[in-house]
Amino acid sequence: MATTDTTEKGLESLIVRHLTGQPPAQAVLTNTVQDDAGHYVVGSYVQGSPADYNRDLALDVPKLLAFLQDTQPKSFAALGLGDEGTKRTQFLHRLQGEIAKRGVVDVLRKGVSHGPAHVDLYKVLPTPTDPASAENFEKNVFSVTRQLRYSNDEAQRSLDMVIFLNGLPLITFELKNSLTKQTVQDAVVQYQTTRPPHELLFQLGRCMVHFAVDDVEVRFCTHLTGKNSWFLPFNKGYNDGAGNPPNPHGLKTDYLWKQVLAKESLANIIENFAQIVEEEDEKGKKKRKQVFPRYHQLRSVRALLQASRSEGVGRRYLIQHSAGSGKSNTIAWLAHQLVELKAPADPLKPLFDTVVVITDRRALDTAIARTIKGFDHVSSIFGHSDSADELRGYLSQGKKIIVTTVQKFPWVLDELGGMAAKRFALLIDEAHSSQGGKTTAKMHLALSGSDGDEEGDEESVEDKVNHLIESRKMLGNASYFAFTATPKNKTLELFGERYEEGDKVHFRARPELTYTTKQAIAEGFILDVIKNYTPVASYYRVAKTVEDDPDFDKKKALKKIRAYVESHEKAIRKKAEIMVDHFTVHVAGKRKIGGQARAMIVCSGIARAVDYYFAVSDYLKEIKSPFKAIVAYSGEHEVNGQKRTEADLNDFPSKDIPAKLKQDPYRFLIVANKYVTGFDEPLLHTMYVDKPLAGVLAVQTLSRLNRAHPQKHDTFVMDFADNEEAVKAAFQDYYRATVQMGETDPNKLHDLKADLDGHQVYAWAQVEQLVALFVNGSERDTLDPILDACVAVYTEQLNEEQQVEFKGKAKGFVRSYGFLGAILPYGHPAWEKLSIFLNFLIPKLPAPKEEDLSKGVLEAIDMDSYRPEVNASLAMAMDEADGTLEPAPMGAGGGLPEPEVDKLSNIIKAFNDLFGNIEWKDADKIRKVIAEEIPAKVAQDTAYQNAQKNSSKQNAKLEHDKALGRVVLALLADHTELFKQFSDNANFKRWLTDSVFDATYKKPPPGIGGQALN
């Protein structure tokens, strides 16, 4: 009796039977059509023979010649391919050389010119405009060959399976079976150890992709490089994590051969996804890279195309794809395929006239442009705008694809009109930042073709107000595709939808498609940046420097003192030393990322970034480190009385920062806000954070570390700013799908308006009058008298608390209406009028005269000591739950807080208690030993004294450190506790060493110890 074949050969046979259209009799298959999810089901392949494979050319020559003779008989005859001999050999070598130079995908797309003829190597997918295209496509020879011997050496090694298209190799396979106790990882190891990269079939571009497959998982690699071959998952994902879901109809991995490898699906990948791109390596050199879509990218693009085809123009799609998930490629692939998409009712008419890709990241703007331009059939209809004039020109010329940044887009919106009849696809990267406020309203106004003027009858003020209302709404002639890793509540609601279920109307505010952080981490596409998270506690002591004991606002004074000590030269220096020492020993010293690891230092502002740049640079020089630092900030900053740019300090152009960071000796990138979002550098391994982080900014900032690299196995964060709880809460929101609970109540705008009206800063007649003047284009000086009268009421008749309340609620109204105006199904003229009025009034309202009861506190204190202490590293674990966000808050913030006034001595005590020292058993005695006894004995050390007199400060420091060690050792009997802290607590040792040196070092006279004579 025949039993089920559960061997590896059995799996191989199962796959080949499906691909060749010869499944078991009980299986019923349709022929190469899409299912509802935009996937493809299987059609017929030809089963190839291993004997037909030419190892010297890496071609299935009989299949190639059969395709050429069938599809291009004239060229076949002209090139003399019918007979074995010199002409055929020359053509085959020409083809082999073109594949080596351009890659198999490019050769299939563009063909090869040889002698008097140009030869097509592939017939494209059918199009409605070409009746013969369906028949031509069917002439392609998709073949699968089992046990293909690829090697000429004595080992005669073979691959389990190879797929060819018209005789050109496309995909290789190594198959394993868990029932025989081998897994996909064994297949990966087999590729890495027994498939030499010098073999012709395995050279870059010779095949499109290499698959390692078992019955549970699929992994892929685009370039075999021996043991460093990088295999990534090609799985569906399960429970928002890695792997594949159980399959009630077969093996977990049969989607690969039943859907992905079906002829139309594979052809679609060749035409629209796979390509070779050029990138810079770690040393700034150009290198070629084969690109193949990850499963979630393929799934997302196809699902969005299918939805657009079936639902038409005017829909909104929010795609939550984890940082590092390859959004730029996904956006590029979607953009160029949306151009080709046809309207369901008219298969000859494009669904969209223009695809506009909008990003707020200039670097990604370039990356998307580069990827799209790689597809030849769209390069002539593509525009990448580097200026407002270019962008304006591309829109008026009707370019099919335009890539631009959101910063450029508003410059030309007011000049565009007459576009209401056109249909747009708007692809928005990082939707939360590039899809909000006045920019969005202006974008909608331009693309809808409405500029406030109509032909025919003159419009009333009310008509013009209504136009402004309409301009805020999501356009009916555009579909929105918004990509973000961290959707905010406003974004979720903006892309949410109401739907009927029975007699009730529901609201759904969740992403249309997700590729979660959890899955991306589990699959190895990104790294878990909070797995090694180390907080650093800071301990300070400040001293009162004035005789009296003045009163200050306690809360503000404590905040100022904390900022003062954290930014103090001593504190910056201490923290810089900790960062550099940690990087030197634990990152560079352990050869993270193969010795190429980089670090980012994130600071609380430009001034702090510049301070760190000098502190880090100075310390690197002192310890004779080979490494250097780069500082990044926008604009100019005052350094030693002069305005200096980042280029001035770095001594190279700003545009070179990303490339320079890849190259030695640069290892530290010091930033405030620049490069904390949108910067994609896989060599970043470690981040030192000295800046408050929370919410989306925390996720975006730390995610600079998560980009994968073949030699990158972990990351490290050292936090000097007490962000631990906020960081964990932020990452939890975006670990899985992010869902909004409930929706914003627009009636709160009525409440806000009533509150504002109640302050009587304006009369409604004044609002009406100003709006009428504005929308009719009156001169500027007609508006100011109305606004100035309202300002007078505000300043003269409202007290401080009322001014704070009015101004806060006015800002809240404008902000909330700007958001709700885009999503409400109705308009409200009174809201629009008040919004226009307040937008003019708010900038004229003076800030409330709030008395700063903490003023002068910094002049009354000085830093006595500072000691950072590195705590144990944490591995933050996320909860297995979707992140939930509340609807966007409405209205203003709170009023003025009541100040808590206290004596300076009490404030200093509270500060020192909060950020104090070690808990000594006899603190008073220890303080005296540290402050008096130890410095006195170190100062008396002969070797140290000689070094101060006759050598440099650096050499004196070395002798000082030796002297201090001898002094502390002598204290062992009387002060065991102090000796133990000095021996075991590296941070205490550093603090004591620096403090004693500062107290005892005497600068030598001019001309001695390396000091220059005047």
Tens digits of per-residue pLDDT, 216-267? 999 999 999 999 899 999 999 988 788 999 999 999 999 999 999 999 999 9
| Out of 82-91, 731-740, 858-867, least confident range | 858-867
Write phi, then psi, for 931 (nearest 5 degrees): -80, -30
If you search the block for the tokens 């600068």, which residue do you land on? 1003
- Report yes or no: 53 and 60 within 8 Å, Cβ to Cβ: yes
> Residue 32 corresponds to which amino acid?
T
Would you say residue 677 lies in a domain?
A: yes
Q: Which residue has the tokens 């590092």?
A: 324
DSSP conformation letters of 477-537: TEEEEEEESS--HHHHHHT-EEEEETTEEEEE-S-SEEE-HHHHHHHTSB--TTSSEEEEE
pLDDT at 29: 33
Given pLDDT bands bounded at 50, 70 and 90, which one contains residue 423? confident
**pLDDT tens digits for range 343-363:** 877 877 889 988 888 776 554
CB atoms within 10 A of CB 486: 27
Same domain, 227 and 369: no
What pLDDT shows up at residue 319? 84
What is the span of the domain harbouring residue 966? Answer: 923-1000
What DSSP character marks residue 44?
P
Q: How far apart are CA 891 and CA 745, in angstroms?
A: 12
Residues whose CB falls within 8 Å of the CB of residue 262, separated by 6 or more in sequence, listed in order = 32, 40, 41, 42, 43
Closest residue by Cα to residue 940 from 915, 914, 970:
970
* 461 vs 44 pLDDT, higher one: 44
- Residue 316: name the closest of 468, 184, 577, 493 by CA: 493
Helices (H), 398-494: 410-413, 431-434, 437-447, 461-471, 489-494
Short-list 514, 482, 522, 486, CA closest to 708: 522
Q: How many domains does the chain have?
A: 4
Q: 509: pLDDT confidence band, cut at 50, 70 and 90?
A: low
Residues counted in the chain: 1014
CB 861 within 8 A of CB 543: yes
Whether residues 170 and 302 share a domain: the answer is: no
Average pLDDT over residues 195-224: 95
For residue 631, which phi and psi values (nearest 5 degrees)? -110, 145
When mean pLDDT is compared over 417-431, 452-466, 720-734, the highest value belongs to 720-734
When the pLDDT of each residue in the chain is averaged and rounded to a whole number, the result is: 79
Same domain, yes or no: 389 and 333: yes
* pLDDT recorded at residue 41: 40
Distance in angstroms (rounded) separating the CA atoms of residues 373 and 386: 15
Residue 914, domain member (yes or no):
no
300 and 273 inside one domain = no
Does residue 918 fall inside a structural domain? no
Report the predicted TM-score, pTM, of the whole model to 2 decimal places.
Answer: 0.71
Which residue did the predictor score with more confidence, 560 or 164? 164
- Which positions ≥6 away from 787 have C-beta within 8 Å? 770, 840, 841, 844
Is 642 inside a domain boundary?
yes
| The pLDDT value given to residue 715 | 93
Please tell me whether residues 237 and 358 are part of one structural domain.
no
* Residues 168 and 245 reside in one and the same domain: yes
Q: Is 591 within a domain?
A: yes
Tens-place pLDDT, residues 781-819: 899 999 999 999 999 999 888 888 898 888 888 877 765
Query: Domain boundary at 213, 246, 280, which?
Result: 280
Domain shared by 539 and 471, yes or no? no
pLDDT of residue 22: 72
Whole-Å CA distances, 171 to 154, 208, 268, 467: 24, 6, 15, 56
Among 537-551, 735-749, 879-893, 976-990, where is mean pLDDT lowest?
879-893
Q: Which of 513, 478, 500 is nearest to 317 (CA)?
A: 513
Residue 239: Cβ within 10 Å count: 13
Determine the Cα–Cα distance for residues 202 and 195; give it in Å rounded to an integer: 8
Lowest-pLDDT range, 496-500, 726-730, 756-760, 827-831?
496-500
Residues 94 and 230: their CA atoms lie apart, in Å, by 30
Residue 934 burial class via C-beta count within 10 angstroms: exposed 0-12, middle 13-18, buried 19 and up: buried
Q: Does the pLDDT of residue 560 top 90, yes or no? A: no
Rounded Cα gap, residues 366 and 659, in angstroms: 14
Q: Which residues contact 857 (CB under 8 A, 6 or more apart)?
A: 552, 557, 560, 561, 904, 907
Per the listing, tokens 């061997």 go with 7
Q: 270: closest CA among 167, 484, 124?
A: 124
Give the separation between CA 746 and CA 650, rounded to whole angstroms.
51
Q: Which residues contact 901 (CB under 8 A, 6 or more apart)?
A: 551, 552, 553, 554, 853
Distance CA 660, CA 652 (A): 9
Q: Can you give the pLDDT at residue 743?
A: 53
Q: How far apart are the first and last CA of the chain?
A: 104
The C-alpha angle with vertex 489 and arms to 484 and 493, in degrees rounded to 5, equals: 90
| Contact criterion met (CB below 8 Å) for 159 and 194 | no
- For the cut 50, the answer to whether the pLDDT of residue 434 exceeds it is no
User: In the prediction, which pLDDT does 865 show?
Assistant: 54
Last residue of a domain, one of 280, 306, 333: 280
What is the band of 436 on the pLDDT scale with cuts at 50, 70, 90?
very low
Average pLDDT over residues 895-924: 53
pLDDT band at 199 (very low <50, low <70, confident <90, very high): very high
566 in the same domain as 462: no
Residue ranges of the alpha helices (H) in 654-783?
657-661, 695-702, 724-733, 747-758, 764-775
Domain shared by 701 and 591, yes or no: yes
Residue 817 belongs to some domain of the structure: no
Mean local confidence (pLDDT), 952-971: 85
Quickly state the pLDDT bin for 304 (edges 50, 70, 90): very high
Instruction: Render pLDDT for 969-993 as a digit per residue (tens, 0 to 9).
Output: 888 777 777 777 777 766 667 767 8
The runs of H, that is alpha helices, within 28-174 are 61-71, 73-78, 86-102, 104-110, 133-137
How many whole angstroms separate alpha carbon 745 and alpha carbon 824? 10
User: Residue 150 in contact with residue 188, Cβ under 8 Å?
Assistant: no
d(CA 224, CA 273): 20
Domain match, 628 and 731 both: yes
pLDDT for residue 416 is more than 50: no
Confidence of residue 426 (pLDDT cuts 50, 70, 90): confident
**Exposed/middle/buried for 731, CB within 10 Å: 0-12, 13-18, 19+?**
buried
Answer whether residue 996 shows pLDDT above 90: no
pLDDT digits (tens, 9 = 90+) for 65-108: 999 999 999 999 999 999 888 999 999 999 999 999 999 999 99
Residue-wise over 509-528: b if at least 16 C-beta within 10 A, else e?
A: bbbbbbbbbbbbbbbbbbbb
Among 139, 177, 148, smallest CA distance to 47 is for: 148
- Considering the domain architecture, whether residues 503 and 601 belong to the same structural domain is answered as no
Percent of the chain at pLDDT > 90 equals 36
Tell whether 256 is covered by a domain.
yes
* Any domain includes 566: yes
Model confidence band, residue 518 (pLDDT cutoffs 50, 70, 90): confident
Q: Which residues contact 425 (CB under 8 A, 6 or more apart)?
A: 308, 335, 338, 352, 354, 355, 356, 478, 479, 481
Token pair recorded at residue 951? 């050598």
Q: Identity (one letter) of the amino acid at 720?
A: F
Given 709, 736, 763, which residue is the final one in a domain?
A: 736
| Stronger pLDDT, 382 or 24, i.e. the higher one | 382
Supply the CATH number for residue 730's domain.
Answer: 3.40.50.300
Cα 792 to Cα 807: distance, rounded to the nearest angstrom: 14
HEC string of 904-971 equals HHHHHHHHHHHCCCCCCCCHHHHHHHHHHHHHHHHHCCHHHHHHHHHCCHHHHHHHHHHHHHHHHHHC
Choice between 994 and 210, residue whose per-residue pLDDT is larger:
210
**Which position has the higher pLDDT, 417 or 369?**
369
d(CA 574, CA 567): 11
Q: Do 427 and 449 belong to one domain?
A: yes
- Alpha-carbon Rg for the chain in angstroms: 34
